[in-house]
Amino acid sequence: MSQSQLLQGKVVVITGAGGEIGRAAALLFADEGARLVVSDLDAAAAAATAQLAANAGAEVIAVATDIGNHSSVDELMEATVKKFGRLDCAFNNAGINLATDDGTNMEAFEKSMTVNAVGTMYCQTAEVSLMLKTGGGAIVNNASVMGLVGSTRQPGYAASKHAVIGLTKTGALRWASQGIRVNAVCPGAVRTAMTEGAMGRSPELRARLMSMSPTGRLAEVDEIAQAALWLCSDRASFINGVALAVDGGFTAG
């Protein structure tokens, strides 16, 4: 355990916690003293993350959640209140990145918008309703560098992530006076098992992803989790409405 825990005793919801970034965040937040509600569309993946966090000493529950379904998000909040009685922080990490989102597939475009944009709106609004009851909190939305720049390949993903940043800034303005901060992390290319597999099959993709950062490497999942942790913590107490690029300098050029 850390000597000075950044989230000691705070109740934190993490969506998309079955994936590699979400799992890294759950374990990092657990190490920093958080009490966790880990959710994912994949119930088994959420349960696996919860078990790892519990093994690390965290008080944690797992909840299967479809963030694109308003009722499912409400059930996530109800489970949080039933277990912990409050909500202090949220990392809205869940989202999709569809290979079929190529500008011609309207179904893929609409699904990207529904999950990434509408789903984040559902989560953010529901989380705020709980935080307002206990004097405030901190929300971090997982956007993308594709929410900061355009994309010639995935219009639905880029549009939805621009929307996430818009929701972040709007929430920051709307609830700042009530003690709620809303920020976003905007990862560049991140090294995951899926990314590594895709790069292994496509040298062209490997070259393109590696070129996305002046550092010449991909981000590690823990580097994204660390940024989310800081934004959730009181060390970022005057940071509000920021879309923080975690991209090795990609958006600097």
What are the pLDDT digits (tens) for 206-216? 888 888 889 99
What per-residue confidence (pLDDT) applies to 1?
A: 43
Q: What is the pLDDT of residues 97-142, one digit of tens each?
A: 998 999 999 999 999 999 999 999 999 999 999 999 999 999 999 9
Domain with 98 in it: what CATH number?
3.40.50.720
What per-residue confidence (pLDDT) applies to 210?
A: 86
Place 3 in a pLDDT band, splitting at 50, 70 and 90.
Answer: low
Domain annotation covers residue 252:
no
234 contacts 175 by C-beta, under 8 angstroms: no
Q: State how far the Cα of 130 lies from the Cα of 142, in Å rounded to an integer.
A: 20
Q: What is the pLDDT of residues 11-23, one digit of tens each?
A: 999 999 999 999 9
Q: Is 154 helix (H, G, I), strand (E, B) or coil?
A: coil
Domain annotation covers residue 98:
yes
Is 157 labeled as catalytic in the residue annotation? Answer: yes
Domain annotation covers residue 121:
yes
Q: Closest by alpha carbon to 189, among 211, 159, 158?
A: 211
Q: Looking at 84, 157, 175, 250, which residue is catalytic?
A: 157
Domain annotation covers residue 235:
yes
Q: State how far the Cα of 204 lies from the Cα of 207, in Å rounded to an integer.
A: 5
Domain annotation covers residue 32:
yes
Q: State how far the Cα of 175 lies from the Cα of 180, in Å rounded to an integer.
A: 5
Domain annotation covers residue 212:
no
Domain range for 125 is 11-191+220-245
Q: How many domains does the chain have?
A: 1
Domain annotation covers residue 21:
yes
What is the pTM for the complete model shown?
0.95
123: enclosing H helix or E strand: helix 119-131
Domain annotation covers residue 174:
yes
Query: CA angle, 21 as apex, 209 and 233 as ends, to 5°?
Result: 120
